Amino acid sequence: MDLKRLQHLVALADERNFSRAAERVHLSQPAFSRSVQAAESELGLQLFDRGNLEVTCTSAGHFFIERARELLFNSRCLERDVRLYRDQLMGDLAIGVGPFPAATIVPALMIDLRARYPGINSRVEVNNWQYLLEHLRAEELDFFVADTRDVPKDASLSVTQLGQQQGHFYVRAGHPLRKKMLTPAEMAPYGLASVRLPESIKQLFRQLMGLKANDRLPLALECDDVHLLKQVTLASDTVLACSAKAVEADVASGLLRELPLVGLPPLHTQLGVVSLKGRSHSPIASFAIDFMREQTDA
């Protein structure tokens, strides 16, 4: 069975509708239906149940489609690797980054890439790990870098740890809480500004503030744009929960101050590179990963 027909079967499994699947693979519906029927005839298996509302995979269909996906993925990887090898290409770069690496290690990477390899094209998606994982699975990204503590353990994913970035709580100069040593619970009335936090960190914050496991955190602003979080913190009494590296210039200039908290355990992000297992990195992607590892360890 050729790869094109496998693509037709996977499209039908995804779309659950002959018309939408045919449109996705740029075939007329009669031609698409004949392709699916020919595949089932060749295999001697019924892969799909044709219901009134939608098409669903049979048990044989689930078994077959899963392996078809792997075969198509490996075929795309092989084509890409051969193209890079044949043309001796560094490759272009499409990566995803979480908010803290976007504010700390990625700017230096982009500057270095522009200086070393002015001929390559780069695309950077800044977002939370859920969004980035979805686009990684769609093969729109070479890899993404983010806090990996909530990334699911999945046989289709490869996770390489880069290192940690220490974190703390910060307020603007002149904030009322700067006048004394305080407990984490005393921050709550002012509201927190933070990126989307891993569940383990949310639970830790609840414990520190004396909240119950299901209580709502006082998150006044949850946003994956670190620059916006800093702006709001500087212009209000909001307390910023942030990577120390992301605010080091603001702290050095005196604009932000680290809160003197009693009983606060060490806080950190756990940065890692997430990629699709079996998909080799282009030379430029490998360079980018090595560069960011050095920046994280620095």
User: What are the angstrom distances between the C-alpha of 76 and each of 3, 15, 79, 148?
Assistant: 10, 21, 5, 26
Tokens standing for 36? 């699916």
Query: What is the percent of the chain where pLDDT is above 70?
Result: 96
**Hey, CA dihedral for 82, 84, 85, 88, is it positive or negative?**
positive
Predicted TM-score (pTM) of the model is 0.71
pLDDT mean over 165-192 = 90
Q: Rounded mean pLDDT of the chain?
A: 89
Confidence of residue 1 (pLDDT cuts 50, 70, 90): confident
Cα 212 to the chain's mean position, in Å? Answer: 29
Residue 87 pLDDT more than 60? no
Question: What is the pLDDT at residue 280?
Answer: 79
Q: For 40-58, how does the pLDDT look when each residue is reduced to its tens digit (9 = 90+)?
A: 999 999 999 988 789 999 9
Quote the strand ranges of the chain, DSSP E: 48-50, 55-57, 93-97, 122-126, 143-147, 157-172, 192-194, 219-222, 239-243, 256-258, 267-276
241 phi and psi angles, rounded to 5 deg:
-100, 120
Residue 282 is given by DSSP the state P
Q: For 149-170, how does the pLDDT look when each residue is reduced to its tens digit (9 = 90+)?
A: 999 988 889 999 998 999 999 9
Max intra-chain CA distance, the chain: 78
pLDDT mean over 68-72 = 85
50 phi and psi angles, rounded to 5 deg:
-90, 90
Domains and CATH numbers, the chain: 3-87 (1.10.10.10), 93-164+270-297 (3.40.190.10), 166-268 (3.40.190.10)
pLDDT mean over 68-88 = 73
Residue 186 is given by DSSP the state G
Question: What is the pLDDT at residue 84?
Answer: 64
